[in-house]
Chains A and B, each alone.
Chain A
Amino acid sequence: MRVLVCVKRVPFTGGKMVLAPDSMALETRHLGFTISPHEECGVEAAVRLVEVNTGESVVLTLGPPEAIEQLRDAMALGIDRAIHLQTESAEWDPEATAAAIVDAIGADEAASGPFDLIFFGNESADSGGYQVGLLVARALGRPAVTGLKGVKVEGGSVRCEQEADGGRDVYVVPMPAVLTVKEGLNLPRYPSVPGRMRAGRKPVATSAPTQAPARLEMVRLVVPPGQGRRAEVLGSGASAAPAVVEMMRKIGVA
């Protein structure tokens, strides 16, 4: 079985959002980078499927040269090889991103055969477009199911579970298929030291796609006005308990 997972490099912001001087990106000089927790679950799902069914797992990212870090992270968890679509630093809009991914999938499938499953995050952590996976699925003519918290391969089909209305909606679709997943699908493993060592030697195919013009064009970023809250300190340590219970009574919850 062949499985692909698409991941996006994003900054790991802390307690507050700080913009770069041009307001077109976050100030990232003091930040680490990661992928979305949704996509981490996609990576874990891909690794597990290939562990059980044998075959090959591939990770793909479209991003700056530094995004090699996220590809190595995925390979440290067990992904076999990587495709890096290198861009200059600025973010691409969803249509341009999807078009480049479709081309890369076409090229890889021409050489190595079709991917049975292609995983995406339900939405990217930063831009949250909720669409790259569905745009790719349509271009490939494959069925797609979104927001999954359960994925099980059953013969030539895949059983997909999505949270809905106090329960789960179940879809069964034929493979090859495109699946977008959410955190909670599984509990991703941590990379081992040997895993990290092996990741450094796994193959990465790098190319530089051309960017389609953005029809969703970012003008600038804005940090939303704060809630204007400055906590009223009710006390410190255990002696604050009576004041806390008073507050609860006043607002009618105790």
Chain B
Amino acid sequence: MLLVLVEQTGGVASDPSLQTLTLARSFGEPIHALVIGSAVDLSHHGVAVTHVAVHDELDSFAPDAWAAILGQLADRLGAGAVFAAGTDRGNDVMARVAARMRLPLATNCIAVAPGPPVTLTRQRWGGSLLEEARLHSARALITVAPHSVPIEPARAETRVERFTPQLKEQELVVHVAEHVSTKGGGVSLAEAKVVVSGGRGVGSKEGFAIIEDLAGLLGAAVGCSRVVTSAGWRPHTDQVGQTGTKIAPELYIACGISGATQHMAGCKAAKRILAINSDAEAPIMLNADYAVVGDLKEIVPAISAELRKRK
């Protein structure tokens, strides 16, 4: 049997967790799920038993406590493998499970097959490269790369059980003490339908005025490459890429961006990409759907003018 950690907000399972349930089912059954705090209905996702962990001290997220709970339940059930989504929290908690149980962990997998040894394919370089690997362990620990496996529903009779973990004081030392909201106005980069992004080709901080103007007309968010954040032209919160934000807009407009793999790791989920670049041979041309060749300082204002004309 397999144990899957399911993350939730207000009783609704996260998409990456549902993707994880789908991949776990291809690995083996029956599936037991662990949710922490309140119950989640997983009867449409092939879960045989949902364990709801309840504890007085778990109102705020405490990663060592979550790892302790996952480990205790895996031991009690004799789970052959433990899965979680490859989210910030999923990877964090699973690495702590690996550490406390002295088991190897494979993160951000996109395919897994039972062993021994377990064979798997996992993402490297933010998904720009894949690794085929073997996991030598009686109990496999796996996280699943978000948005790499489509959710496939499956009906099941789900039993719900309450689980009361034993937590030590030291497992509660690291916990969220406070949440500070930073939601400002404007369109968030991660959720925008259109993103207009500038790279080194924009030339300066002031150069972004034409990018912002076009973004304003399209109700789009402004993004940028790492060269731009390193130069201090834009804040890091605008950076798209492996070490920036990952986006999935309808249209991504990349202006003066060469298309390095680490940049593309952040925008490859875009439905369509328009590259505006003076170099017709720039690598981004092989990853874009549309291109305009030439100086962005002429092209971007011309697009804005055309949009205004047609309004």
Contacts and interface: CB of A to CB of B under 8 A. Distances in A.
Interface of A: 13-17, 26, 36-38, 93-95, 123, 125-131, 134-135, 137-139, 143-147, 161-162, 164-174, 182-184, 187, 214-224, 226-227, 229-242, 244-245, 247-248, 251-254
A236 B293 contact: yes
B286 A244 contact: no
B179 A170 contact: yes
A219 to B, nearest CB: 4
Contacts of A227: 268, 287
List 6 A-B pairs, minimum CB-CB distance, nearest first: A15-B283, A138-B99, A184-B236, A238-B302, A131-B95, A231-B291
Given A166-B183, A221-B132, A231-B291, 16 more contacts: A15-B283, A17-B129, A94-B105, A128-B123, A128-B124, A134-B96, A169-B179, A216-B106, A220-B132, A234-B292, A236-B294, A237-B295, A240-B299, A242-B306, A248-B218, A253-B250
A218 B293 contact: no
8 contacts: A220-B132, A224-B130, A229-B273, A232-B290, A233-B293, A234-B291, A236-B294, A237-B295
B298 A166 contact: no
A102 to B, nearest CB: 11
Given A183-B239, A184-B237, A236-B292, A245 B283 contact: no
Contacts of B58: none
B290 A17 contact: no
Contacts of A252: 250
A165 B137 CA distance: 35
Given A128-B108, A143-B174, A241 B135 contact: no
B91 A130 contact: yes
A217 B136 CA distance: 8
B306 A224 contact: no
Contact of A183 (B124, B181, B218, B244): B244
A166 B178 CA distance: 14
Which of A37, A174, A218 neighbours the largest number of chain B CB atoms within 10 Å of its CB?
Answer: A37
Interface string B256-290: 00111110000010011111000010111111111
